[in-house]
Amino acid sequence: MNANSLQTVSSFRKAWDSPSLSCFRRAACLPACLLLCAAAALPQTAGPLRPRRPPPDGTGEAAAPPPPVLGDTARNHADADPLIRLARAVNADFTKNLPNFIAKRRVKRFVSFNRGRIWALEDTIEAEVLYADRKETYRNIRIDGRRRVGSMEELDRAWSAGEYGTLLRNLFAPQLGLAFTRNRPRDSEAPGAAAYATLASREQSTWSIHFNAASIRPAYRAAVWLAPESGRALRIEMTAEAELPPSFGLRLVKTTLRFAAATVGGAQYLLPASATTLSCLRRSVKCFRHEIAFDGYRKFSAESSIFQVESDVSFSSGAAAPR
């Protein structure tokens, strides 16, 4: 008989002699005693069972992986990483090298009434983006093909603006001094890119979020994917959730911006190719999602009347190296 068998027999004898099994010896409670004997002979577990983690609230993704964690590696000094130093230089001055151009901007707006599990298309907004003198404006706005008179800011639903350079300045402005931590890249999102994460405090934040009459600049979490050779940003994610104050009407806001090479006036530049914004109402199951696409870039040289668009989100219910 091996050691395990002897230990099992010993455990069984201790259980047999215990007062709780006197019922068995009296042949009065056989089923219950058999269960007690079996339990006494079983090896004990190493520790308490861990409760199952509930699915995240608000996105409808029951098994989504956690976002990049800044504590996985030591936090870098703001300028210790040479790629971050390069990124600060090329991305903070991103708009200085852009020519004046026109592009098409198409937004599909979705709504969900079950925290993002099922989405329904509400409408499609199309507009021309006019970028000149480092400022952007919108014209020829159409909703589901029908011409709309007025500005983009007058839309009565969720809207975002400021994709051309302002999000980059939010992250890489030297005066903000955001510290970046290297993370494992997720190749499906930006193949070959170097991934970083950062946290911006309320004092460092230049990201404005508007809901009805309220406007805040919250702390936020951000992830950025950089081209290793040039330091150019290929993808940006900015998220404010726990950072949003309880009195604010939104409990979640997330913006994702992707860049790709586009030809303007015979030269190539890294320009916005697509974007996604997600927002969810506080104390509600209602969420909004915007899928934004940019195309048709072409050079613009005529004079125009334009206005500055800040980096904000508003809500109310190929060949040569890219520059």
For residues 89 and 32, membership in a common domain is answered with no
Q: Which two tokens stand for residue 262?
A: 């586009």
Report how far residue 30's alpha carbon sits from residue 32's, in angstroms, rounded to the nearest whole number: 6
Backbone torsions φ then ψ of 10, nearest 5 degrees: -60, -45
Instruction: Specify if 97 maps to a domain.
Output: yes
Question: pLDDT digits over 26-65, tens only?
Answer: 443 433 333 333 333 334 433 443 444 444 444 444 434 4
Instruction: Read off the pTM.
Output: 0.67
For residues 10 and 106, membership in a common domain is answered with no
For residues 10 and 156, membership in a common domain is answered with no
Report how far residue 134's alpha carbon sits from residue 95's, in angstroms, rounded to the nearest whole number: 6
For residues 90 and 233, membership in a common domain is answered with yes
CA distances (Å), origin 131, targets 107, 277, 304:
18, 21, 10
Which residues constitute the domain of residue 34? 3-41
For residues 229 and 153, membership in a common domain is answered with yes
Beta bridge partners of 109: 123, 290
For residues 37 and 180, membership in a common domain is answered with no
Domain count, the chain: 2
Instruction: Specify if 78 maps to a domain.
Output: yes
Instruction: Specify if 323 maps to a domain.
Output: no
For residues 97 and 18, membership in a common domain is answered with no
Q: What is the CATH number of the domain that holds 175?
A: 2.50.20
For residues 36 and 78, membership in a common domain is answered with no
For residues 169 and 288, membership in a common domain is answered with yes
For residues 119 and 262, membership in a common domain is answered with yes
Question: pLDDT digits over 78-135, tens only?
Answer: 568 999 999 998 887 777 778 889 999 999 999 999 999 999 999 999 999 888 887 8
For residues 33 and 75, membership in a common domain is answered with no
